[in-house]
Structure 1
């Protein structure tokens, strides 16, 4: 009988030895998750679970990073649905990653194998199996979470009633691989990286991680938004136009990026950043399956696709490509925002409308055990 963690509380579930797509082994793996709402399971195995997929440096606390969208009567209605969000394998927010201890007592560090988006989904499936959840009302995710959502619909179509794919592509483009590889190089070039085995040195590759975040953050935001906010203004009290260049004298945008770098360094592990960024480089739904469009057309899960009109990292034409080729398209939606890629995490009013529209469109495809009167015997787990 499934026993879920109390609402909002982080729980860790062992999933056993995990074999990666590329042949690696993660001994005694475990994943963390949080949930909101009451789980309902029908006799046919249907559930009311909405599985949410976080982005690269996100975590399982979807009620925080999508605040106002998860809760009673909200777009992700916890009076009707059980919302579950996991922390991805390789992460550093409760699930096993490079910073965790190997069974031999030392940190995994450089021994932590590379993982793919498919590995992330496979690990998540093992977690849900351990919880007694075999079928999902919907899978929803943006950016790296959108890549996972796509793979869920292709790897386990029988387990997914509907999917919402946000701000991602069918495969990593050369530009994406290039920009992401540059970030990895910044971390690996830090003197404190030590080949990934820095955990017992007393130092961390914070400078490399901060530099990677600055570059990444520029791809997360829109050029118009950044220019409107900062232009070519100097940071108050500093002068970047002096006789000699001085790194302490900054433009306002430099100060902003320094701030973003500090925030990530304080909350995220560099080893996990490398592992997860590399998994985005490996994203390709056509790998070992045939042509890209052929794979998309084979999808049977009703899927809605969402893009952002100013997205630099995953340009809108990539979501248009998905919408033109998916075998079972529910709808296409566009977020109009100067914010860029991060708009799906910032434009809450538009996301509220999109999520509600998705749930309405997906309704005919969902098999939701609403009440004992409608579905016969239903067991409730809290």
Structure 2
């Protein structure tokens, strides 16, 4: 919804898998999906713990590449690992830095129990460090989320802010439709909160790692001073500690009965019009194939082709097919209001808060719901 600039992206999109760059277009053979899924289910349900013996956590492949480009010594890599393990512990013995240990965060045995659950239920997809590069990740499309940048799509907050624990819990409870992320509603509230704490722990650790590597590069290759480490940890923690301040709430939420045919028709005009420009990404038929999703790529031999614009994680963008019931970030009117008003972090979906007032956003929300068959005035699909 809005004019989108095409980012500078590689010709062949790739994603991380076990530390290696694997093209998304790879034709590497995959095992029988049924056998594969059964093996995952058995591993998860039988208490299998793939992290036994992992008493430290490494640097991401991206960090290692950057350090190698800067000719970092092994001592610098070791220092960065030691700093991170000193601040955050390991997947077997985790801890939050002191600046994040307040506000009801799990500590000690509680956090250890939560990471044990993560290792059995989540790590085969999301990986030891939360990089979305677990042993199952290569077989999944879209791939599991990389928590380390600290960017989360599905939350009730303004764009590009760290999520609240409640936002992560919500995703765990309902899962993400049309992806491999299942609902964990079978778990207790305490277990879900624990997993949300682990996700936060991994995300904060990942952000601190990135900032520390950048700090080392900007510092000209000198060893990181303790004061620099403390400043980075405090800066990252501040964003997470203040997440509650960025909650997105409407001025007033209308009841479904108020959204009559006239308002839905106005939402349709907004969708196709120049003010909201939703069809630029979601398409004339609402199938998610609008022209702004694609960009022209010229090969070295001069041949030109179209590729999908990549999101922050390097994944080809696929805007929602709005005709299908079920939305990845939730299907309630308030969920869609937040997606339309502030956009989706890390994606090409922009917010419409500057172009539309609240009433117009609600008209768009109910137009979308009606097209998906989730409103009485919409076609039953």
Tell me the TM-score range normalised by the shorter chain.
Answer: under 0.3
Q: Normalising to structure 2: TM-score of the pair?
A: 0.25
Q: Normalising to structure 1: TM-score of the pair?
A: 0.25
Indicate the structure whose relative CO is greater, using CA pairs within 8 Å and at least 6 residues apart: 1
